[in-house]
A and B are shown apart, each in its own frame.
Chain A
């Protein structure tokens, strides 16, 4: 146990693609006590190593693959690895998590994380075979789909059981919202794929045979079994139908993005995820590493011209490539999902940007001349699938859309910014903000831009009586707490799928059992707060202030046409009330910059000093 705590392996692998060197660094003790691991660990390294205003595509940008202390153990759904970098889509801090067995395998190989810097001269992939790390030529893999890349790498390394994370053509072509794909799961958000592509790194393959040792096996087993028991009931729907279960709920509460967020209610929602549909198409359950839920579904769909067997589509994909594009064909969505995965595109941003193009076309802001002859209309799923291919290849109109909705709307102009649905450049995902003020506030303030999993209060809010739900007051503290809590899960790392049975006290117990450190829910919340503040400091260093903590004008000016918030508008005034309260709860000043005393309270003295220099400059 070189690190001093159990659970960790105690090593970080550093890879320099320019120099073609690898080195192994000890995992610093202050990183684990102050940041747990995972997202927190990545955030701190990014803060220390990425200089302000660095071009995200610069070879000096870092791309980190991180695991947490729980990764590889039997803790329920401790399956994820995180990707932390400076985003090419938003130009600010980015973290994206991905399930599967890549994270556990990385840890069994003997690393808590991998930091990648530099740029390879020619396409390469990295082969981590326990402590034996090699650069491999990837020229023959370039331009291949993520599916084929994984297959070829496994074949080449003569082992079907190794884990491969890779990019597809979209990442190679620097599509701003391209993803990193492992199995059929993705670190989808914030355009992590483009960073990997800019480094000429096609894939990372991992095979690990080592141990993950924990302090108290019996205690971990005890907590785990309690969570399994609670999980059985709390997560029955998720086990049965997958994340698509929630679609009926979001539709009911007016939060299902429909036709580029013009509404939160989709008239054909039933066709996307009704129990009868799921009953018919779901053929088999698949679970990620150590997960007792198994939300992933193998589906077989025969519908019209679509005949497809695949994994998914998940809720957010159903919403963004479905209702948000006005599409009600489950077959089309499944196929679009498969194309996105194969090409290495984030399904959420893709659905968002295509819906934007559809609205632009219907409002005649773009014409057939701009689209290369395509009639891009809501509900036309064939056009949607065609656009996905063009985006990934940056072909014609696809080249414009590949820039993300923010830049696309700037180019289209003509008032289209009003319905370019993004925050800080990150496309708004599948919980429409108009009917849920906490969700909206989280989008406005989350460190990555509009990212639901950095602090979604959806489940809390729908349980509120409407009077409280539609009151901007009280949302600031609610969102702050949820964001801090999520940072703990993302650092441990635990998948959010079990969160209905895994609350902070259980996370505390598991962390204690695994690492041997003494902690408490309160202390963990402090860690979460520290991580969020450090991420904010990173963004402030990049020029982010209050002016950026906002929402698209559609959210602030247009009343909701349907659903429980019908006729209500989340106005500029309401957002101001929420932001003020949020900043106060966070200990940030009115401009949204963390105060010196707050940072010092969190032990971030060096960060406070740096920020002071910037703010005073």
Chain B
């Protein structure tokens, strides 16, 4: 039984602080290391995007409360856990059509070339290897409520700039 009340109502997911992320891609390497026993960013559940000089971030499944990927799968290969929101892929059913990849606005799903099926973050059953591996502490486990509260604080601080 979980003692965390919030967990019962909101899904926890991994987010990346774009200010701290350096684009080192260690999270991708750690993920493929744990999940695949090899190194290949294209087999990682978390994916890093680097654009231009200074734009870096890591993107991973946010366990949407109403996941489009699950709804749009024509073969019912995706299922969301009621407990923690993790999206499971039934590799037998998934035929790799890629509809879910297109539907996900975060690009959080990845097509696994050997499995010929989609893969998604499953929080390592709580082990959170990417968060542990990040040397720059850019990754953390949050809920959308936590992020919203931070945004409220930030905007309030900017409104009252100069006052402590």
Contact = CB atoms under 8 A, between A and B. Distances in A.
Given A161-B50, A184-B53, A217 B38 contact: yes
B107 to A, nearest CB: 11
A211 B43 contact: yes
Interface residues of A, number: 37
Interface in B35-50: 36-43, 49-50
B23 A287 contact: yes
B121 interface: no
A212 B40 contact: yes
Contact of B38 (A184, A213, A284): A213
B57 interface: no
Contacts of B25: 101, 289-290
B49 A161 contact: yes
A592 interface: no
A298 B18 CA distance: 14
A333 to B, nearest CB: 18
A74 B134 CA distance: 12
A286 B22 contact: yes
A287 B113 contact: no
A217 B29 contact: no
Contacts of A232: 135
Interface string A41-63: 00000000000000000000000
B24 A210 contact: no
Given A74-B39, A210-B40, A298-B53, A287 B22 contact: yes
Given A285-B136, A292-B24, A212 B39 contact: yes
Given A74-B29, A221-B33, A108 B40 contact: yes
Contacts of A211: 36, 38-40, 43
Nearest to A289: B25
A72 B19 contact: no
B22 A217 contact: no
Interface string B1-37: 0000000000000000001001111100110010011
B54 A73 contact: no
B55 to A, nearest CB: 10
Interface residues of B, number: 26
Nearest to A7: B39
A73 B24 contact: no
A199 to B, nearest CB: 29
Nearest to A284: B54
B39 A214 contact: yes
B51 A160 contact: yes
A561 B43 CA distance: 58
A309 B56 CA distance: 16
Interface string A204-219: 0000011111100100
Contacts of B53: 184, 298, 309-311
B111 to A, nearest CB: 10
A72 to B, nearest CB: 6
Given A212-B40, A285-B136, A286-B56, A217 B26 contact: no
A72 B39 contact: yes
A288 interface: yes
B29 A290 contact: yes
B39 A73 contact: yes
A313 interface: no
A74 B31 CA distance: 10
Given A221-B33, A285-B136, A290 B24 contact: yes
A310 B56 CA distance: 15
A298 B54 contact: yes
Nearest to A213: B38
A228 interface: yes
Contacts of B36: 211
Contacts of A217: 33, 37-38
Contact of A291 (B24, B40, B42, B56): B24
Given A212-B39, A213-B38, A288-B24, A74 B33 contact: yes
Contacts of B40: 108, 209-212
A257 interface: no
Given A74-B29, A161-B50, A286-B56, A214 B38 contact: yes
Nearest to B24: A287
A283 B135 CA distance: 18
A294 interface: yes
B135 A292 contact: yes
Nearest to A184: B53
Contacts of B29: 73-74, 290
Contacts of B135: 228, 231-232, 292-294
Contacts of A290: 24-26, 29
A288 B38 CA distance: 20
Contacts of A214: 38-39
A284 B136 CA distance: 12
Contacts of A283: 54
B37 to A, nearest CB: 5
A192 B34 CA distance: 39
A74 B40 CA distance: 10
Contacts of A286: 22-23, 54, 56
Question: Which of B29, B39, B50 is most buried by chain A, counting CB atoms within 10 A of its CB?
Answer: B39
Closest 6 CB pairs of A and B: A287-B24, A292-B135, A287-B22, A74-B29, A294-B22, A212-B39
Interface of A: 72-74, 101, 108, 160-161, 184, 209-214, 217, 220-221, 228, 231-232, 283-294, 296, 298, 309-311
27 contacts: A73-B39, A74-B33, A108-B41, A108-B42, A160-B51, A209-B42, A209-B113, A211-B40, A213-B39, A214-B39, A231-B135, A283-B54, A284-B19, A285-B136, A286-B54, A290-B24, A290-B29, A291-B24, A292-B24, A292-B135, A294-B22, A294-B24, A294-B135, A294-B136, A296-B22, A298-B54, A309-B53
Given A288-B24, A292-B135, 13 more contacts: A73-B29, A74-B29, A101-B25, A108-B40, A160-B51, A161-B50, A231-B135, A232-B135, A286-B23, A287-B24, A296-B22, A298-B53, A309-B53
